[in-house]
Amino acid sequence: MAASLFHDVPLKAKVIGWGIIFIPLATLVLLGAIFLRPEAIDQRLVWGCYVARDAPPLDIREDAIYIIEPARRRFSYVAEPSKTSYQLNVRPALLLKREPTGRYAFASTQGTGFFWPLLPALGNNRDRVRHPQEFAGRIQVAADGADVVYSRTSDADACRR
């Protein structure tokens, strides 16, 4: 019968030894959970009028996101950090679907909502925002077949239909 490596070590010494190993590790995990949280993002950072090629403009306001279309639908959102970036948590689940005309339109789909990543400036070596100041007024929206990138515009008429 094989003997354990620590068979002759008293229980008190085993407890002290395991404490020396696990207490510092638990402290590091706790400090990481406290201090490595992503910074909250201010909702006002994403407000504005957004346009994308062949897609209806979006007017992001304090209370909701308005789709600039004849039906003038709106849906709720929250700007929030995720594990690796920042995103808009939008509800209900609306997906951009391509119509026969070649343009996109928002259509209801299964699910409770979607997460739309906030993007940094074009040419950046990253594809996601890691800090709120990196947000360059670009949002990636889920679409049927490919993602559509919306960009904030200073043309106020784009959202006044």
- pLDDT tens for residues 9-68? 888 988 898 889 999 888 888 887 777 777 778 889 999 999 999 999 999 999 999 999
- List beta partners, residue 6: none
Q: What is this structure's pTM? A: 0.75
| Distance, CA of 7 to CA of 71 (rounded, Å) | 76
- Domain segments of the chain: what residues? 1-37, 43-159
Centroid of chain to Cα 128: 9
Is 77:58 a contact under the CB 8 Å cutoff? no
For the residues 131-154, what does the mean pLDDT come to?
A: 87
- The amino acid at residue 67 is I
Number of residues in the chain: 161
